[in-house]
Chains A and B, each alone.
Chain A
Amino acid sequence: MKLINCPINGVRPVSEFVFGGELREMPDPDQCSDADWATYVHHRNGAPGLKKEWWYHAPSGTWFIAERNTMTEEIVRTYLFGQEEEK
């Protein structure tokens, strides 16, 4: 079973986590076209590679970002949302 390093609680088995989908930049809803919005909502790039994903450590209620290589299954790093620079 995979281990994930929660930035607050440390290394835990994946069974303690809930996957929260890919981290995506929301376009400005007032400015973007319908097509751009639809792409944001519905289009997911399934190509393997480095993805930024939301993960949630359930016992502590901690959301964080994991950078995961979906080709190798390796989690490169994890950090709290918005605290990427501090790492």
Chain B
Amino acid sequence: MQNTSIIQPSPITYGHIAEPSKIGSVHGMAVALKFGNGDEESKRRQLIGIADISCLSRFGVKGPNAVQWLRAHKVDLPEERNSWVATSSGAVVLRLGNSEFLIEDSPTSSLAPSLASDPPKMFGVYTVRRSDASLVLSGSRVQELLAEVCTLDLSEKALGKNAVVMTQVAGISATVLRQSLNGETVYRLWCDGTYGTYMWHTLVEIAEELGGGAVGLSSYFKELA
């Protein structure tokens, strides 16, 4: 349950590398909406944009009967292990391995809170507490960034449209998928929130060398501008 009166900090501390020009509270979390002025930001974003979207609502569940439980709650599910689907409201449902799921809402959907309000009590289904740092990355040079931080081939050619990859990014465990967001190919990345600041700084440092850098949440989700 979220206490609506308390604003949580993002698991990512932006400082040191790039200071946001606008911070706003989204779903009870203070996140960077903008870095620098709009022109600079969109220029950066064309090459590589990295945004912190940790504020989106999230729900995790696992266990041998997780599929059954989610079906009972009318959640669209990926059929294959290590794959994902988007719901009609824009939430993403990731199947991590065979029997664990991560659901992350879009800014406007509310699947995660509704599932969390009635947590599983049945046999063989367990809530997984999440505190992810959640990022979105895109841009014309994003492959160069990914090639430096991940040994796997994450290019469009190699990474299936609905594939979920649990691998190491910049030396730590992370979950990655590729998505078409508003017609643009973006990568979504999750890692444990306690690694969030490290991950952010590492990725932004490399992105800046390649002409990109940190961008605000509203640069991907206009409705949150």
Interface of B, helix, strand, loop or mixed by DSSP: strand
**Is the Cβ of A58 less than 8 Å from the Cβ of B98?**
no
Q: Find out whether the CB atom of B166 lies under 8 angstroms from the CB atom of A59.
A: yes
Nearest chain-A residue to B191 (Cβ)? A59
Bin the interface of chain A by size: 10 to 19
Q: Are B97 and A59 in contact (CB under 8 A)?
A: no
Residues of A within 8 A of B165 (CB): 9
Query: What residues on A are CB-neighbors of B166 within 8 Å?
Result: 9, 57, 59-60
Q: Which of A8, A13, A57 contacts B151 (CB 8 A)?
A: A13
Alpha-carbon distance A59/B166, docked complex (angstroms): 6
A60 contacts B97, C-beta separation under 8 Å = yes
The answer to whether A16 touches B97 (Cβ under 8 A) is: no
A59 with B173, Cβ < 8 A, contacts A16-B167, A16-B168 known:
yes
| Interface range on chain B (Cβ under 8 Å from partner) | 10 to 19
Q: Which residues of A contact B (CB under 8 A)?
A: 8-9, 12-13, 15-16, 57-62
B56 CB to closest chain A CB (Å) equals: 21
Contacts of A60 in B (CB 8 A): 96-97, 166
Q: How far is the CA of A9 from the CA of B175 in the complex (A)?
A: 12
Is B225's CB within 8 Å of the partner chain A?
Answer: no
Contacts of A58 in B (CB 8 A): 168, 173
Interchain Cβ contacts under 8 Å between A and B, 11 examples:
A8-B97, A9-B165, A9-B166, A9-B167, A12-B152, A12-B167, A16-B168, A59-B174, A59-B175, A60-B97, A60-B166
Q: Which 5 A-B pairs have the closest CB atoms?
A: A59-B173, A60-B166, A59-B166, A13-B151, A8-B97
